Amino acid sequence: MNDEIWFSIKLSLLVSALSTIFVAVIGGAIAYLLATREFKGKAILEVLITLPLIMPPTVTGYYLIVIFGRNGYLGKLLFDMAGWSIMFTWQAAVLASFIISLPLMVRTAQAAIASVDITMRDSATMLGYSEWQTALKVVLPLAKKGILAGVVLAFARAMGEFGATLMVAGNIPGRTSTMPLAIYSYAASGDWEKAHLLVLILTLTSGLFIFLARQFEIKSGGRS
């Protein structure tokens, strides 16, 4: 295996791992909020979070450029403050993977948290536990298998992310070329041997993660 292939494998793992950490923390908090609270704008928040799941990733990538691009709403602010733009960096690949895989985590974890009987939460509350303590000691342990399924699915989705990553991180060999992007480059240049190898690795890892997610879902009662 040459250095380029190794780099794309390592970058994919790094991007997916970091993206999954953010997805687990932020997505977990959003899922908890959506599963346990009624508030104004809840439906809009759910739609916004779910959109990347059904929109073409290039469209999501386009929105990310509008927001985080050098002249974007947040991108300009960041550049003025730090003199740095996230565009065409590996961090942009993390951002793209985060946004694309967030709905998978939120939807799966939200269902798992909502399935915890409200009487469990009420009982903990009546025993003097704050909402935060109740979440940590009662709700999350009871919903952990569903939440883990969401984390695993988010990781698998991040590993396979292509469209939005291409839009915001580009396909720069040795800098932002994740496995899916490298496969695209190898296939476009007719380097089928390398493309085959990466396709095989990506298929096996994705299959493994989907199998793991399925096992967690079954154990958490999400499937029959």
Partner 1 sequence: MILAAVFKKKWDRFHLDIAFQMNEGLTVLFGASGAGKTTTLRLIAGLLPPDDGHLELNEAILFNAAQGINIAAQHRFMGYVCQKHALFPHMTILKNIMFGAKDLPAHLRQERARELIATLRLEGLEQKHPHEISGGQQQRVAFARAIIRKPQALLLDEPFSSLDTITRVKMRACLKSIMKDLHIPVIMVTHDIFEACHMADNMLIYSAGRIIQEGAPAEIIRAPATEEVAALTSFTYYQTVPPADYPD
Based on its alpha-carbon atoms, the radius of gyration of the chain, rounded to whole angstroms, reads 19
Residue indicated by tokens 């890892």: 205
Q: Taking the complex as a whole, how short is the minimal distance between the CB of residue 22 and partner 1, in angstroms?
A: 27
> In angstroms, what is the minimal distance from the CB of 139 to partner 1?
10
Residue where the block lists tokens 């984390």:
151
Stretch that binds partner 1, among 3-11, 69-77, 129-137, 177-185 (CB under 8 A): 129-137
**One-character DSSP codes across 35-89:** HH---TTHHHHHHHHHHHHHS-HHHHHHHHHHHHSTTSHHHHHHHHHHS---TTS
88 binds partner 1 (CB under 8 A): no
Q: Is 184 in the site for partner 1 (CB under 8 A)?
A: no
User: Least distance (Å) from partner 1 to the CB of residue 214?
Assistant: 22
Q: With binding defined as CB under 8 A, does residue 126 bind partner 1?
A: yes
Among 125, 175, 206, 212, which residue sits at the site for partner 1 (rule: CB under 8 A)?
Answer: 125
Draw the binding track, 142-171, toward partner 1 (x: CB under 8 A; -: no contact): x-----------------------------
Q: Is 141 in the site for partner 1 (CB under 8 A)?
A: yes
